Structure 1
Amino acid sequence: MYYRTLRSEYVSNRNGQGKYTPTVTDEEILASFVAADRPFQTATDISERFGLDRSQAYRRLQRLADTGSLEKSKIGSRAVVWWESKSTIDESSPDISGVNPDDEFWKYAGMFTSGPTDVAANVDKYLYGERRNEP
């Protein structure tokens, strides 16, 4: 997978008081977990993707873990992997609050089975609620 690496002067800068101000947002870091080709990332992965120092990436990931956005696990003696917490994934799930469970659509749950169905033969019935007569 192609990762865009940015030079560090475009990733971080300092404000008027000399304090570090990140230009890579927490949202961008979290989005990189969704775009990744595996369900976990390391600080090295994040540092390479955004052009950050590895220790800087680690601190950012730790801060996201402290807020509950990420979870982590130590693997082996030194390796740490990070992944999105379930609460973060649930928050980013589609909003289905407007779905009506009594809608006629749900009567045809058999359409979504892996076995043979009669959908092709009865498409008009399912779409329009009646069988259309052939001319």
Structure 2
Amino acid sequence: MNEKKEYMSNAGRKPRVTDDELIDTIRQLTDTNENIVVTTPEITDELPIAQRSVYDRLIKLNDEERVQKKKVGARAIVWWVNADE
């Protein structure tokens, strides 16, 4: 059973993901996929929280300069971990 399903099996409780877990997920995706950037849906697929929640958290982390972003299309944004993080 993958982690997302395990989190979802705790019905009635909202899953929690720390900022560090979110950043670690980005790192894992960029290391595993040999990509230097990832999209919000790619990150969301690995976490037990909704895409909008992931996006809002990424915006906050970007404001804190912990992650960077770049708009690459009309509605597409890519993310990566700040080199200082």
TM-score bracket for this pair, using the shorter chain length: 0.7 to 0.9
The number of residues matched between the two structures is 77
Q: 1:86 aligns to what SS in structure 2?
A: coil
TM-score (norm 1): 0.50
How far apart are 1:41 and its partner, in Å? 1.8
Paired position in structure 2 for 1:79: 76
2: CA distance between counterparts of 1:8 and 1:68? 34
Superposition pairs for residues 1-135 of structure 1, below 5 Å?
A: 4-5=3-4, 6-7=7-8, 13=14, 23-36=16-29, 37=33, 38-88=35-85
Q: TM-score, normalised by structure 2?
A: 0.75
Q: Evaluate the alpha carbon distance shift between residue 66 and residue 7 of structure 1 in structure 2; reply closer, same or farther with a 3 A threshold.
A: same
Letter in 2 for 1:53: A
Residues 48-95 of structure 1 show CA distances to partners (whole Å, capped at 9, x for unaligned) of: 11122111110011111110100000011100000011221xxxxxxx
User: Aligned residues: percent identity?
Assistant: 27
Q: Which segments of 5 or more consecutive residues in structure 1 lack a partner in the other structure?
A: 14-21, 89-135
Aligned-residue RMSD, C-alpha? 2.2
Q: What SS does the corresponding residue of 1:45 show, helix, strand or coil?
A: helix
Q: What is the letter of the counterpart of residue 54 of structure 1?
A: Q
For the pair shown, the structure with the greater C-alpha radius of gyration is 1
In the TM superposition, residue 44 of structure 1 has moved relative to its aligned partner by 0.9
